[in-house]
Amino acid sequence: MQLNHAQRELTVKIVYYGPGLSGKTTNLQMVHQRTSPEVRGRLLTVETHDDRTLFFDLLPVFFSTANGFKVKVKLFTVPGQVIHNATRRIVLQGADAVAFIADSRRAAGQENNAYWKNLVENMKENNLDPAQVPIIIQYNKRDLPDTKTDAEIEETRKKGKEPVVGAIAIRGIGVLETLYTVLQSAYRSLEARAHLAKTIGLTEKEFLSQVFANMDITGTELEKLLPPRPAGART
């Protein structure tokens, strides 16, 4: 988090982490698609010819609070290929929360574990304390055969404290729910450390509803979580 009182500006950094081809870039593309252009920058992607992330993807989303504070949420993805570990470490620097995108196929278990370990190591290298930087898990590609069942996912959820979200990112399913969950976790941890509600008057409710105010949440679980839109709001 970067909090600049002089410029009245708060920057929150979210990093999408996970094995190669698990769908990190797809998540960002879907968020980009569903966000109105006035409140986001362009989606910056640097890919190889076969669509593998080379350095990172970046999607900035911004809004102003009722108090006139500028809030920027920067969504990054890391490159998943093994060789890019140094880049992963750099992109992870200063993250406020991590969305770990796992491939939910049973065969991908080992790969997920390896990257989980890699995430923990790189967090340590970056002085990111797992007690302060929350991680949430997305089980992506639930449309594929061999995907874990709900019961199996529930089983793995119980092994840790991280919130778990199922997704089919390629169809936009679970993508905004993942973003919501990771932002909520980020806010809560920042609130605990920096007391955002007190210092800049930004509550969790305002933070989340402002981010999603200009996103198309139709058909997602968020319709139930967020206050109903005023008539005429973009959908």
Ligand X SMILES: Nc1nc2c(ncn2[C@@H]2O[C@H](COP(=O)(O)OP(=O)(O)OP(=O)(O)O)[C@@H](O)[C@H]2O)c(=O)[nH]1
Residues that bind ligand X (CB under 6 A): 20-26, 51-53, 77, 79-81, 140-141, 143-144, 168-170
Residue 116 binding: pick among ligand X, Mg ion, other proteins, none (C-beta 5-8 Å cut-off by kind): none
DSSP 23: S
Residue of closest CB approach to ligand X: 80
Q: Which of 76, 193, 89 is nearest to 131 (CA)?
A: 193
d(CA 186, CA 134): 7
**93 is an interface residue for other proteins by CB under 8 A:** yes
Q: Which of 182, 207, 195, 171 is nearest to 76 (CA)?
A: 182
Q: What is the largest CA-CA distance in the chain?
A: 53
| Contact positions with other proteins (CB under 8 A) in 115-144 | 125-127
Query: In this complex, which beta carbon is closest to other proteins, that of residue 170 or of residue 194?
Result: 194
Residue 3 binding: pick among other proteins, Mg ion, ligand X, none (C-beta 5-8 Å cut-off by kind): none
Distance of closest approach, residue 83 Cβ to other proteins, in angstroms: 9
Strands annotated E in 66-207? 70-77, 97-103, 135-140, 164-166
Q: By CB under 8 A, name the one of 1, 3, 90, 225 that touches other proteins.
A: 90
| Contact positions with other proteins (CB under 8 A) in 141-180 | none
Distance of closest approach, residue 94 Cβ to ligand X, in angstroms: 20
d(CA 164, CA 78): 20
Number of H helices, E strands in the chain: 8, 8
